[in-house]
Amino acid sequence: MTCRTEVVERPSTEVLSVCTVVRVSTSPPGRENSSDWPWFADMVRYKQKAELPSKKEGADRIRSMAPSYELVDGLLYKRSYGGPLLLCLPSEEAKTVMTAAHQGICEAHQGAKTLAKKLIIQGYYWPTMVKDCVEEVLRCSVCQMFARKGT
């Protein structure tokens, strides 16, 4: 019996990167209310430095939600029920990932609930993901062409 060995010089599959993830390390002064400030910045600051927002409601909210989040190598993850840790995405990158999953290479054009579940299974999270997926499907001309009318 002979054994044949083949040396592969480069990976047989290509790595496809759809987005880069922003690491939030410190808070730049005066940017907290701007639209490009990630929704999870307060949680990252609490996890890293135990600093809470100055308003009481904000501080209570962060403290009560903190057990659901975990900081790993500077990236924030949300715990899912029995599933993997979900990477928290800022809104701009969430849109990139969502569009790639819906209209990207596979062009699955699945419904909003299926799209949201697919993104969770792939390990992503942001608080408005279901609402954003509904809007993505409503914006998609291919989905609207085949949408059932009057339902």
- The contact set with Zn ion (CB under 5 A) reads 109, 140, 142-143
CB-based contacts of 100, cutoff 8 Å, min separation 6: 18, 19
Q: Which is nearer to Zn ion, 86 or 115 (CB)?
A: 115
Smallest distance from the beta carbon of 110 to Zn ion, in angstroms? 8
8 Å CB contact between 129 and 116: yes
CB-based contacts of 63, cutoff 8 Å, min separation 6: 46, 52
Q: Which is nearer to Zn ion, 106 or 142 (CB)?
A: 142
8 Å CB contact between 62 and 41: no
Q: Which is nearer to Zn ion, 48 or 114 (CB)?
A: 114
Smallest distance from the beta carbon of 112 to Zn ion, in angstroms? 10
Q: Which is nearer to Zn ion, 19 or 143 (CB)?
A: 143
Smallest distance from the beta carbon of 102 to Zn ion, in angstroms? 5
Smallest distance from the beta carbon of 117 to Zn ion, in angstroms? 16
Q: What are phi and psi of 43, to 5 degrees?
A: -65, -40
8 Å CB contact between 52 and 63: yes
CA distance 61 to 58: 5
Smallest distance from the beta carbon of 133 to Zn ion, in angstroms? 11
Q: Which is nearer to Zn ion, 89 or 101 (CB)?
A: 101
